[in-house]
Amino acid sequence: MFTLTIIQTLQDWLHGWLGGTVQGRLIANAIMVVVTIVLFWIIYRIVFRIFNRISQRVLKEDSQLQPLRIQKQEILSAQEVGRILNVGVQIVSWILRIYILLLFLNTLLGLFEWSRDLSESLAARFGNAVVSVFTAFVHYIPNLMTIVVIVAVSYGIIKLLRLVFNGIQRQRIKIPGFYPEWSETSYSLLRLLVIALTAVAVFPYLPGSSSPAFQGVSIFVGVLVSLGSTSAVANVVAGIVITYTRAFRKNDWVSVAGAEGKVVERTTFVTRIRTAKNVEISVPNSAVMSDKVINFSSQARNVGIALHTGVTIGYDVPWPKVQELLLTAARNTEQIEEEPAPFVLQTALDDNYVAYELNAFTKNAGLRPKIYSDLHANILDTFHAAGVEITSPQYRAVRDGNTPAIAEVITPEPGEETKPA
pLDDT tens digit string along 258-308?
Answer: 888 888 888 778 889 888 888 888 888 888 888 888 888 877 777 788 899
**Cα–Cα distance measured from residue 56 to residue 84, given in angstroms and rounded to the nearest whole number:** 13
DSSP reduced 3-state for 264: strand
**Residue 389, SS3 per DSSP:** coil
310 and 274 fall within a common domain: no
Task: Answer yes or no: do 11 and 137 share one domain.
Answer: yes
In a domain, 189, yes or no: no
Angle in degrees, 0-180, between the axes of helices 2-17 and 22-59, rounded to the nearest 10: 150
Q: Give domain status of residue 52, yes or no.
A: yes
Show which of 276, 295, 314 is a domain's final residue. 295
Decide if 190 is inside a domain.
no
Residues 266 and 352 in one domain: no
The phi, psi pair for 276, rounded to 5°, reads -65, -20
Torsion of CA 40, 42, 46, 48, to 10 degrees: 60
Residues 289 and 307 in one domain: no
Judgement on whether residues 261 and 407 belong to the same structural domain of the protein:
no
Domain tally for the chain?
A: 3
246's CB contacts (< 8 A; 6+ apart) are 179, 181
Q: Which residues are within 8 A (CB) of 242 and not within 5 positions of it... i.e. 6 or more apart?
A: 248, 266, 271, 285, 288, 289
pLDDT at position 357: 94
Strands 305-313 and 354-362: antiparallel
Domain assignment of residue 257, given as a range: 234-295
346 and 390 both lie in a single domain: yes
CATH number of the domain that residue 372 is part of? 3.30.70.100
315 with 271, same domain: the answer is no
SS3 content of the chain, % helix, strand, coil (to 5): 60, 15, 30
In a domain, 175, yes or no: no
Q: Which CATH number do you get for residue 263?
A: 2.30.30.60
**Is 286 within a domain?**
yes
Domain boundary among 267, 295, 323: 295
Q: Is residue 223 part of a domain?
A: no
Residues 6 and 152 in one domain: yes
How far apart CA 245 and CA 237 sit, in angstroms, is 12
User: CA 121, CA 132: separation in Å to the nearest integer?
Assistant: 16
Half-sphere exposure of 170 (CA within 13 A, CB side): 6
Q: How many CB atoms lie within 10 A of CB 242?
A: 19
Domain edge (last residue) among 133, 159, 185: 159
* Sign of the alpha-carbon torsion through 92, 93, 94, 99: positive
Stated pTM of the model? 0.49
Query: Does one domain contain both 101 and 148?
Result: yes
What residues have CB less than 8 Å from 262, skipping those under 6 apart? Answer: 251, 252, 253, 254, 273, 274, 366
Q: Are residues 289 and 329 in the same domain?
A: no
Q: CA 120 → CA 100, 123, 342, distances in Å?
A: 16, 5, 99
Q: What is the pLDDT along the chain (421 residues), one digit of tens a residue?
A: 545 566 556 656 656 665 555 565 666 667 767 777 888 788 888 888 888 888 877 777 666 667 766 555 566 677 777 778 878 888 888 888 887 887 777 777 766 666 667 766 777 777 777 788 788 878 878 888 888 899 889 988 888 888 888 887 777 777 787 777 777 778 888 888 888 889 888 888 877 666 676 667 667 666 655 655 567 777 777 777 877 777 888 888 888 888 888 888 887 788 898 888 888 888 888 888 888 888 888 777 777 888 999 999 888 889 999 999 999 999 999 889 888 899 999 999 888 888 999 999 998 888 888 899 999 999 999 999 988 888 765 555 455 556 665 656 666 665 555 444 3
148 belongs to a structural domain: yes
One domain, residues 242 and 324: no
Residues 113 and 27 in one domain: yes
Q: For residue 216, tell me if it sits in a domain.
A: no
